[in-house]
Structure 1
Amino acid sequence: MTMLQLAARALLVVVFGAAVISKARSRAALAAFAADLAGFRWLAAGLRRPTAVAVIVAELATLALLATVRQAGAAAALVLLTGFTVATLRAGRAADCRCFGRARPAARGSAAGFVLRNCLLAAGALGAALAPGGDVAPALAVVALGAGAAAGALVVRWDDIAYLFQGPAAPRRS
């Protein structure tokens, strides 16, 4: 495995792992995630909970594949990221999801930050899938895994970081 493969896989494992934990850590978290799917008006109310469970199962499967069959895991990540992006854009708004904890709009209500984040993750998935194989010295493997995990942590806190660089929100008019 090359350093790029290792870093990209670590990035995706951190991101998808945080997503699974935030949604599946309790019944209340799962119920809140399912309730948030109401924002996708094209999704029937009766399909929200099954869809929430399906998303979690798909994310878990992606994690397992990333750990065992890198190209299949990267492809699964790419499919999920594409699906999440299309669903959010089809909803006509920024994502209010529980991807990484409590629901909040991406980059203060703009879908641009959400799409940019998912495009960067998709590039990571392509890197994990397409980087050539090869041996990596153990010390370099640790560096690559650490860099990927750190990048994953930044992605998980993406909205908080974007908020730091935005000016104060305009006051709402009544």
Structure 2
Amino acid sequence: MTMLQLAARALLVVVFGTALVGKARSRAALAAFAADLAGFRWLPAGLRRSTAVGVIAAELVTVALLATVRQAGAAAALVLLAGFTAATLRAGRAADCRCFGRAKPAARGGAGGFVLRNALLAAGALAAGLAPGGAVAPALAAVALVAGAAAGALVVRWDDIAYLFQGPAAPRRS
């Protein structure tokens, strides 16, 4: 495995793992995530809970595959990212999805920041799936895994970082 592939896989495991835990840590968290799907007005109310459970299951499978079968995990990550991006673009804004376990408005700028973040994650998924295999010295593998996990932590805190540079978002109009 190359260092790039290891770093990309670590990045994606941190991002999808954090999203998974944030939404599935309790019944209340699951219910809140399902309720937040109302932000996607095109999704019928009767499908919100099953959609929430399906998203969590897909994230779990993606994390497991990234850890075991890199190309399948990378493909699963790409499919999820494409689906999340399409849903956001259809809604016209990033919904408060509790993707990382807390409720707060998405970073200012509508869906643009969300789409940019997902595009960067998609590039990571491509690197995880397409980078050539091969042996890596254990010390270099550790460096790659730590770097990827650190990048994943930055992605998880994306909205907070954007807030530092943009200031608070204007209140939403309903």
Q: Tell me the TM-score normalised to structure 1 length.
A: 0.95
Of 37-46 and 144-153, the range deviating more from structure 2:
37-46
- Could you say what secondary structure the match of 2:166 adopts? coil
Preserved contact between residue 93 and residue 111 of structure 1 (Cα < 8 Å): yes
Distance 1:137 1:57, change over 3 A: same
Per the alignment, residue 101 of structure 2 pairs with: 101
Instruction: State the shift of 1:39 in Å.
Output: 1.0
Please report the RMSD computed on the Cα atoms of aligned residues, expressed in angstroms.
1.6
Structure 1 CA distance, aligned partners of 2:114 and 2:50?
A: 24
1:42 deviates by 1.1
Shift of 1:64: 0.7
Match of residue 156 from structure 1: 156
Aligned residues: 173
1:100-139 equivalence runs, <5 A: 100-139=100-139
| CA distance in 2 between partners of 1:135 and 1:54 (Å) | 36
C-alpha spacing 1:136/1:167, structure 2 compared with 1 (3 Å): same
Question: Shift in Å at residue 172 of structure 1?
Answer: 8.8
Q: Give the aligned partner of residue 35 of structure 2.
A: 35
* Runs of at least 4 residues off by over 3 Å: 167-173
Q: Are 1:94 and 1:109, in contact at CA under 8 Å, matched by a contact in 2?
A: no
Q: Is the 8 A contact 1:7 1:147 kept in 2?
A: yes
TM-score (norm 2): 0.95
1:5 aligns with 2:21: no
The equivalent residue for 1:46 is: 46
More moved, 106-115 vs 63-72: 106-115
Measure the CA separation in 2 of the matches of 1:170 and 1:93.
14
AA in 1 matched with 2:117: R
Matched position secondary structure for 1:77: helix
1:144 equivalent in structure 2 = 144
Percent of aligned positions that are identical? 88
